[in-house]
Amino acid sequence: MFDALVLGAGPAGLTAGIYLGRAKKSVLILDTGTVGGAPIMTHQVSNYPGIPDVPGYSLAFAMKKQAESFGCKIKGNAVIAGVSLDTPVKRLTLADGTEYEGKTLIIATGGTPRKLGIPKEEVFKGKGISYCATCDGDFFTDKEIVVIGGGNSALEEAVSLSKYASKITILHEFDHFQAFQAAVDEAKANPKLHYVMNVRVLEFIGDSRITGVAYERKETGERGVVEAAGAFVFIGYVPSSKLFEGMLDINDRGEIVADESTQTSLPGVYAAGDIRTKRIRQLTTAVADGTVAALYAIHHMESQPA
């Protein structure tokens, strides 16, 4: 039995743990994957206040150590088999039968990389197709690759991949980028980056491994192929909310409905970070959500009858 259960050990979840731990609450942070969240897959973080140009994994590790220093218990690679939220005590059941209970639950499960859903994407996953530049960039040293996407993640990761690849072609479905101007300027200043805009990606080409990406120009219907040894896909994330379907209000995009207070449709249950309804998704907004969720959770616990 814990005062608070936190599901998700990314920036939102770890920040919530830090605040809860400092308030002398007992906290268990569970993650279905690797502790650290999205930052561990980010080559470099350049916009975190006060800590310029820090490797993503270093920032994630520092957050984890800080949460542990305040007494948080943290467990990664947890397989969640069941959730019970309709009573004052919230319960998480693992696949091995272990049950954890808490007076409050903070959901900070983030999301998984969005896939294109085109032919051979699943076939070549791990055989030339990647969704993580930090994980796989060095496998493509001195090779030509493709980056698919046009937001902040696509451009920033394309720049980081230029340390390895000899040439990077960015394929984007629109005729303009959806990234901040600083990211656009940095990408355009990189001589290794080339652009094919306003196209529809059709399929991945290859036998045992990817050898190219086929596309179609949206205006003319003209088709082409970019020869590449690898393709990195950065087209957003799908919220990891399936576990809570039928229990909480979830919108048509899969986001848990929660306002700036992070309160969900059930008392004592909060949603923080990329999992909740919000327009801006950044490392700093995830950290802010974790702070708010923890403070509301503390208030909820202290306002309940003994």
Phi, psi of 182 (to 5 degrees): -60, -40
Closest CA to 179 of 146, 156, 145: 156
Q: Which residues pair with residue 218 across a beta bridge? A: none
- What is the residue-wise DSSP string for 246-291? TTS-B-TTSPBP--TT-B-SSTTEEE-GGGBS-S---HHHHHHHHH
Furthest-apart CA atoms within the chain: distance in Å:
69
- Which residues form the catalytic set? 132, 135-136
CA dist 216 and 173 (Å) reads: 10
Phi, psi of 125 (to 5 degrees): -60, 120
Closest CA to 17 of 93, 114, 104: 104
Three-state secondary structure of 96-125: CCCEEEEEEEEECCCEEECCCCCCCCCCCE
